[in-house]
């Protein structure tokens, strides 16, 4: 931890010069640790945390609540264009709002997880969401994470990271996460769901999940969140002289 604190201090020291206005983009499959890592990194650097996946989850939740077919891309895109999705940090928790309704917990339910890949695969939906995400990124000072942040949303991000982990480890993490929320499931169920999502996300026609050539790959299978953040901070330190 002493090393992590040292590198974070260096990053923050240079924040007003080398890091000011910059974008850090993190991609990876579900369960790789990217959301927790991105959130922790943004907090340490004083950057805005942009959870692109939560935006698709919010739209999916809204569609399910209002009986909007998740296979109707044009209608979903029309809804997305009118929907107000906001992020607010409260007590160090990144909360998600649709209009004035807090849907932070609701968008993480198994039902939303089951349908979000289908919703996010529609070209019309992705076009609308990417437009919003790019707008949010114009001011910089952002740590963004998702499935296509390094390839589509922020292809010119100053630092690109691809987090990965073994399927077994990702399933274990999801099992523990859902267990804390009181959701009954098994590791095998989560493993099957992750396999389904991986295939769907990596083979979709528009904005598939992929590693860009200029992304640094970090295998998180045997890493704690602190160690994941430390790896990225080391990368930032290396890049400080070139960005």
Tell me, what CATH number does 169's domain have?
A: 3.40.50.300
Domain range holding 174?
32-223
For residue 128, pLDDT beyond 80: yes
> For the segment 14-23, what is each residue's pLDDT rounded down to a tens digit?
444 577 888 9
Residue 189 in any domain: the answer is yes
117: in domain = yes
Q: What is the mean pLDDT of the chain?
A: 87
Q: Are 140 and 222 in contact (CB under 8 A)?
A: no
pLDDT of 243 = 59
**H or E stretch at 216:** strand 216-219
Is 99 strand, coil or helix?
Answer: coil
d(CA 135, CA 120): 19
Sign of CA dihedral 7, 10, 11, 12: positive
Out of 58-67, 79-88, 138-147, give the one with best mean pLDDT.
58-67
Q: What is the pLDDT of residue 1?
A: 52
Residue in this structure with the two tokens 């963004």, named with its chain if needed = 144
Whether 238 shows a pLDDT value over 50: the answer reads: yes
Q: CA 156, 226, 33, 133 torsion: positive or negative?
A: negative
pLDDT of residue 87: 83
Q: Comparing 4 with 233, which gets the higher pLDDT?
A: 233
Indicate the helix (H) or strand (E) that contains 143. strand 142-146
Q: What is the pLDDT of residue 67?
A: 96
Q: Is the pLDDT of residue 90 over 90?
A: no
Tens of pLDDT along 171-206? 999 999 888 878 889 999 999 999 998 998 888 887
Task: Determine the pLDDT at residue 16.
Answer: 44
Contact 3, 198 (CB under 8 A): no
CA distance 146 to 29: 8
Residue 78 lies in a domain: yes
The b-or-e profile of 67-95 (16+ CB within 10 A means b, else e) is: ebebebbebbbebbeebebebeeeeeebe
Q: Identify whether 231 is part of a domain.
A: no
Residue 50 structure tokens? 């942009």
Nearest to 58 by CA among 28, 87, 92, 32: 87
Sign of torsion, CA 21 153 120 179?
negative
Contact status, residue 85 vs residue 96, Cβ threshold 8 Å: yes
Is residue 6 pLDDT above 70, yes or no? no
C-alpha distances (whole Å) from 80 to each of 39, 109, 177 are 24, 20, 28
For the cut 80, the answer to whether the pLDDT of residue 119 exceeds it is: yes
C-alpha–C-alpha distance, residues 206 and 142, integer Å: 24
226 contact partners, CB below 8 Å, separation of at least 6: 1, 4, 40
Is residue 232 domain-resident? no
Q: Over range 89-106, report the average pLDDT.
A: 86
Would you state the pLDDT for residue 88? 81
With a cut of 70, say whether residue 54 has pLDDT above it.
yes
The pLDDT of residue 48: 85
| Assigned domain for 84 exists | yes
43 pLDDT exceeds 90?
A: no
Q: How far is the C-alpha of 243 from the C-alpha of 235, rounded, in Å?
A: 12
pLDDT number for residue 177: 87
In a domain, 25, yes or no: no
Given this model, what pLDDT does residue 32 score? Answer: 93
Domain count, the chain: 1
Most confident of 60-74, 182-196, 201-215, 227-241: 60-74
On whether residue 130 sits in a domain, the answer given is yes
């Amino acid at each position: 931890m002493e090393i992590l604190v040292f590198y974070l201090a260096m990053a923050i020291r240079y924040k007003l010069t080398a890091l000011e206005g910059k974008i850090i983009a993190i991609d990876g499959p579900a369960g790789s640790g990217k959301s927790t890592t991105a959130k922790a990194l943004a907090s340490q650097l004083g950057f805005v945390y942009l959870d692109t996946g939560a935006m698709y989850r919010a739209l999916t939740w809204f569609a399910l609540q209002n009986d909007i077919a998740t296979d109707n891309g044009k209608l979903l895109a029309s809804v997305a264009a009118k929907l107000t999705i906001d992020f607010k940090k409260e007590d160090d928790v990144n909360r998600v709002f649709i209009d004035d309704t807090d849907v932070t917990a609701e968008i993480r339910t198994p039902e939303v997880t089951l349908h979000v890949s289908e919703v996010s695969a529609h070209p019309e939906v992705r076009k609308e969401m990417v437009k919003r995400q790019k707008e949010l990124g114009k001011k910089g000072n952002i740590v963004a994470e998702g499935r296509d942040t390094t390839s589509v949303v922020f292809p010119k991000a100053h630092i690109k990271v691809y987090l990965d982990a073994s399927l077994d480890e990702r399933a274990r993490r999801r099992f523990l996460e859902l267990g804390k929320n009181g959701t009954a499931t098994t590791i095998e169920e989560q493993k099957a769901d992750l396999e389904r999502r991986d295939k769907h996300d990596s083979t979709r026609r528009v904005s598939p999940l992929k590693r860009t050539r200029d992304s640094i790959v970090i295998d998180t299978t045997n890493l704690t969140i602190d160690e994941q953040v430390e790896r990225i901070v080391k990368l930032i330190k290396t890049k400080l002289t070139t960005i």
